Amino acid sequence: METVGMILCGGFGKRLRPVTETIPKPLVEICEDYTILDKQLFDFKNAGVNEVYLLAGFLHEKIEERYGNEYKGVKIHYIIEDEPLGTLNAIRLGMNAIEGDKQCIIRNGDIVSDINLKAMIEYGVKSSLPVTMFITQMPSPYGIVEINGDRLVSFKEKPLLEDYYINGGIYFTKSKIDFGEFETGDIEKLYFPAIAKENSLGYYKEDGIYWNAIDTVKGLESVKKEYKNKTDKPWGYEKVLISTEKYMSKELYIKEGFRTSFHYHNQKDETMYIISGSGYIQFENERKYFSENDTIRINHNVPHSIVAVENTILHEISTPFLDDTVRIEDYYTR
């Protein structure tokens, strides 16, 4: 069954003012000429979602001006809410606009995350439950201290509270939702608690991935800091850690089930240190498997592709040629 996307884009973004006085929150830039909504549409595209409904309201004309009816191969529909009546009403209007009975992946318009949407959709399809919610570990808003006897022994700055999860603002439905008696208000406070009581709400989680809800200026600054040297890729992301005249260090995150292009470097030799995850390097005539703590050396002019069997983080140390990549075969639309 086809999966369509929905993005809640209608909020006023009051806590982000003055940034959101002239633009809607989804058009806030997380780095130069790259908005929250750019990333969300990019993620949908790479998860195989090629049709998206933007549930808009405040300054919706700004969104339509930027994206039109198609954005990088993704077909876009606009559902305009004249009066804000809550997330439930916006999603209900979106559901009413969908032709036929389709699966749907819904996300809040202020979420920036490295979640593997393709894996979430596959998980939701296999689930016996009609609705699946992405949950993420709760970050402490404050630093914590550790004590031993009468001594304070260490500080941890805003750690993840490992035993607690929160609603991550992304939902999968196996078919169009029938909201019954619910018409307005917030889906998080009305519909989800109701179906949870009926044991009809499932969850999907990926521990250790980046997640941030941009609902304050401080949150926006945190995301901009994350994207200072980070570039989203169809398969994950690439982040430059160190760049000097002698060498360069990058962090690559490759999502489970994804792979880099089949490519080689004219000048760059590289050594890869597997921080977490597992997968393999596909060469022309062989496959070399890797797992956590492995080290892999690849010389220049050697074609290869990195394939992730699990969510994989690796650090690549190489000679300093940032753009020295020749793609032989690309597996995604860029």
Q: Where are the domains of the chain?
A: 3-137+164-226, 230-329
Q: Could you tell me which CATH number the domain at 3-137+164-226 has?
A: 3.90.550.10
Measured on CA atoms in the order 32, 262, 327, 44, is the torsion positive or negative? negative
Our measurement of the distance from residue 259's CA atom to the centroid of its chain's CA atoms, rounded to an integer in Å, reads 17
Average pLDDT for residues 54-73, to the nearest whole number? 90
Residue keyed to tokens 């005539």: 285
At 105, list the tokens: 């992946």
pLDDT at 322 over 90: no
Our measurement of the distance from residue 179's CA atom to the centroid of its chain's CA atoms, rounded to an integer in Å, reads 27
At 137, list the tokens: 């570990």
Cβ–Cβ < 8 Å for 259, 277: no
Q: Place 321 in a pLDDT band, splitting at 50, 70 and 90.
A: low
Cβ–Cβ < 8 Å for 309, 280: yes
> Does the domain at residues 230-329 carry the CATH identifier 3.40.630.30?
no
Q: Place 300 in a pLDDT band, splitting at 50, 70 and 90.
A: confident
Q: How far is 287 from 269, CA to CA, in rounded Å?
A: 19
What pLDDT shows up at residue 128? 92
Average pLDDT, the chain: 88
- By three-state DSSP, how is residue 231 classified? strand
Q: How far is 251 from 242, CA to CA, in rounded Å?
A: 10
Average pLDDT for residues 277-295, to the nearest whole number? 94
Q: Is-above-0.85 flag for pTM?
A: yes
| pLDDT 10s digits, 144-192 | 778 877 778 777 777 777 678 889 999 999 988 888 777 788 888 889 9
Residue keyed to tokens 């062989």: 286
Average pLDDT for residues 263-284, to the nearest whole number? 90
Q: How far is 132 from 116, CA to CA, in rounded Å?
A: 14
Cβ–Cβ < 8 Å for 13, 20: yes
Cβ–Cβ < 8 Å for 73, 45: yes
